[in-house]
Amino acid sequence: MCGIVGYIGEQEACQILVDGLKKLEYRGYDSAGVALLNENGIDVRKSVGKLKALECALENCVPRGHLGIGHTRWATHGRPSDENAHPHSDCTGKLTVVHNGIIENYMALKERLVSEGHEFKSETDTEVAAHLVESYYNGDLAEAVRKAARDMEGSFALVIIATDEPDKIVAARRHSPLVIGLGKGENYLASDVAAFLKHTRKVLFADDDTLAVITRDGVTLTDLNGNVVEKAAQTIEWDAAMAERGGYEHFMLKEIHEQPRALRETMRGRLAPDKDFIELPGINLTEDEIKKIDRIIMIACGTAYHASMAGKYAIEQLCRIPVEIDVASELRYRDPIVDDRTLGIVISQSGETLDTVVGLREVKEKGAKIVAITNVVGSMAARESDGVLYTYAGPEIAVASTKAYTTQLMVLYLIAMYFAQVRGTISPQRAAELRQALWDLPQLAEVILNDYQSVIAAADRYYCFNGFLYMARGINLASALEGALKIKEISYMHAEGYAAGEMKHGPIAMIDPTFVTVAVTVQSKTYDKMLGNIREVKARAGEVIAIAYNGDTGIKDYADRVIYIPQTEEIFSPALVAIPLQLMAYFVAHNRGPAIDQPRNLAKTVTVE
Ligand code: AGP
């Protein structure tokens, strides 16, 4: 996720900006840049790579100025490169912007601006903002930004400076973070307080659709129509490390809480309540090609493999296309049957997992088209695939994958519904119900995250047990495996995920009073069978936690504890079930004490076979 900084005041701004960007490094980035305003205009310096590269570029000739903006870029549109790095300027070079977020309608805006004669230098959605503000600029920067913001759909924290108004920074935001730091005779702004905490703890959090005009001596907030907005300053008590984690104790917990936002970002531009169709431009398959597909092979490792398990159910159910799923490290040794009617779907948060990339090449060489689902623009998986659907989760820092998983599910659901739409395998009415249910998913995730006392209480009871068994049926088998993997990764406890129907074929032998079973009971068709499995565990003195839908009061008679989640369509339920299971793993590990964000023996990205 991009990082933004800004400074206006007495001091030379450049070092303050670079120091601020260093504090935002944890957000992940692939390039960085600064823009300083001085009597000669706006001096923009940027480079691909880490901040070290930018510092080298600044070394021999530090740009001067008491007002400046800076940026670390996490690519979403256009590969990481010097040209795509921020800041970006308009045609005249008199306006310069940095941006965090995704401007969904940037293609339409770009076409309009190109037809008006604007010339673009990068592939980014951000550059559109620079030219859009230019098109409205008439000597009043704030008003031009307000007009541009009204035209833009999607999410943005936009910060802009202009040579003709050298006494101010103008910023606007919608859905992307932006906080203003209040100093004496100087002011700051950033994506989060970590960037300026050493200078000031007094802050203003701007609301959605707010515009801020920041001068040395003050800040004026307005809505996008120019009405003044009053906002009280707050004092931040966090230390610097805590500020990076947004006030959470660990990145994992922060990332769990980011899921509603990440899900929304991943839906944006693809699904909308006022549209009766799904759009997936990145998939790069014609309708004819989609109709021709007679087999799908999904390739992934670890958590991404669990996403593929749920994806298989969704695609087979909605599109009636047979789906094979493969742990990537096994795929090439089984000589899979592939031809030009096969579609390979590669799922990888990093896009760099070597086994997954090798699997991709294997299937591609055999003649399949490949679509990658990845979180990292320009990653190997993205580069080597025919089409790419990004998960807009933002960088995932904790080794244990959370928001990457649920956003991978989201993309798989979108693919299933898109293919069903093209192939006509579900009725328009069913398609509408599913679109609505998918649209509601982030809000239901929010409901879970607003109150999870029952999860904490369960973790407090079971963290010293001998092991966890997760059982489920149908599409939530993926949830059982993912729940067990989360516990293993961060608490080093024995945990297994099993199809509940397999219990009697072995795992039930493990049940005793020191073993807890987590039973996912949200499937209607197999609900009674799950109750039977719970009874069997209870009969052997095992304890049971049920993950059940709100309103299922009867389940209390079977399980020792119940964790309730809101109801959704069955095929989407793994995205909600995942959240209490992630939280359970987190709080169990928290009670046991290991390093949650960086568990022993694990790397975030496995780049060896
Ligand atoms: C899950 O919590 C993991 N850390 C791990 O299983 C991960 O999902 C796997 O290594 C795949 O990574 P990728 O998505 O970057 O390819």
Q: Which of 393, 418, 448 is the last residue of a domain?
A: 448
Whether residue 140 sits in one domain with residue 233: yes
Residue 205, strand partner residues = 179
Q: In the chain, how many H helices and how many E strands?
A: 19, 24
Residue carrying structure tokens 């400074």: 7
Residues catalogued as catalytic: 2, 604
356 lines ligand 1 (CB under 6 A): yes
* Domain membership flag for residue 602: no
Residue 37 CB: number of other CB atoms within 10 A?
26
Cα(576) to ligand 1 centroid in Å equals 19
Whether residue 471 sits in one domain with residue 393: no
Whether residue 586 sits in one domain with residue 491: yes
Whether residue 437 sits in one domain with residue 485: no
Amino acid at 132: L
Whole-number pLDDT of residue 113: 96
Cα(364) to ligand 1 centroid in Å equals 22
Q: Give, using CA atoms, the residue closest to atom 10 of ligand 1.
A: 302
- Rounded CA-CA distance 338/355 in Å is 18
Cα(423) to ligand 1 centroid in Å equals 32
155 lines ligand 1 (CB under 6 A): no
| CATH code for position 468 | 3.40.50.10490
Per-residue HEC secondary structure of 96-149 comes to: EEEEEEEECCHHHHHHHHHHCCCCCCCCCCHHHHHHHHHHHCCCCHHHHHHHHH
Whole-number pLDDT of residue 594: 75
Atom from ligand 1 closest to the CA of residue 381: 16
Whether residue 135 sits in one domain with residue 41: yes
Q: Give, using CA atoms, the residue closest to atom 9 of ligand 1.
A: 302
Whole-number pLDDT of residue 104: 87
Whether residue 164 sits in one domain with residue 50: yes
Burial class (CB in 10 A: 0-12, 13-18, 19+), 226: exposed
Contact between residue 266 and residue 407 where contact means Cβ atoms under 8 Å apart: yes
349 lines ligand 1 (CB under 6 A): yes
Pairing, β 95-103 against β 88-89: antiparallel
606 lines ligand 1 (CB under 6 A): yes
* Domain membership flag for residue 566: yes
Whether residue 214 sits in one domain with residue 273: no
Cα(90) to ligand 1 centroid in Å equals 40
Residue 412 CB: number of other CB atoms within 10 A?
28
- Rounded CA-CA distance 535/560 in Å is 11
| CATH code for position 35 | 3.60.20.10
* Domain membership flag for residue 310: yes
Question: Residue 77 has what DSSP assignment?
Answer: S
- Joined together, the tokens standing for residue 58 give 């600044």
* Domain membership flag for residue 559: yes
Tell me how far CA of residue 467 lies from CA of 302, 485, 506, 521, 600, in angstroms. Answer: 20, 12, 16, 20, 19
* Domain membership flag for residue 600: no
Cα(401) to ligand 1 centroid in Å equals 6
Q: 142: Cβ–Cβ under 8 A, 6 or more apart, which residues?
A: 170, 211, 213, 222, 226
* Domain membership flag for residue 598: no
Question: Residue 349 has what DSSP assignment?
Answer: S
- Rounded CA-CA distance 181/20 in Å is 12
303 lines ligand 1 (CB under 6 A): yes
* Domain membership flag for residue 107: yes
Cα(405) to ligand 1 centroid in Å equals 9
Whether residue 178 sits in one domain with residue 34: yes
Q: 286: Cβ–Cβ under 8 A, 6 or more apart, which residues?
A: none
542: containing domain: 451-592
Q: Which of 223, 244, 265 is the last residue of a domain?
A: 244
H or E element at residue 157: strand 154-162
- Rounded CA-CA distance 8/16 in Å is 10
Whether residue 459 sits in one domain with residue 434: no
Whether residue 441 sits in one domain with residue 456: no
R_g of the chain, CA atoms, integer Å = 25
Mutational test site, ligand 1, from 309, 401, 608, max ligand atoms within 8 Å of CB: 401
Looking at the 3D structure of the chain, how many domains does it have?
3
Q: Please tell me whether the overall predicted TM-score, pTM, comes out greater than 0.85 for this model.
A: no
Mutational test site, ligand 1, from 327, 349, 600, max ligand atoms within 8 Å of CB: 349
Asked if the bond preceding 574 is cis, omega within 30° of 0, the reply is: no
Q: Which of 393, 397, 381, 382 is nearest to 604 (CA)?
A: 397
Residue 409 CB: number of other CB atoms within 10 A?
30
- Joined together, the tokens standing for residue 301 give 């490792």
Whether residue 464 sits in one domain with residue 417: no
Whether residue 198 sits in one domain with residue 74: yes
Whole-number pLDDT of residue 609: 66
Q: Which of 244, 265, 286 is the last residue of a domain?
A: 244
Question: Residue 294 has what DSSP assignment?
Answer: -
472 lines ligand 1 (CB under 6 A): no
Residue carrying structure tokens 């690519």: 75
Mean pLDDT per 10-residue segment, the chain (609 residues): 91 95 83 94 92 88 93 85 91 94 90 95 91 96 97 92 96 90 96 88 90 96 95 81 83 96 94 92 96 98 98 98 95 91 96 92 96 89 95 89 98 98 96 97 98 98 96 97 97 96 93 96 93 96 97 96 98 98 98 88 77
Amino acid at 111: E
Q: What is the dihedral of CA 177, 155, 388, 125, to 10 degrees?
A: -100
* Domain membership flag for residue 521: yes
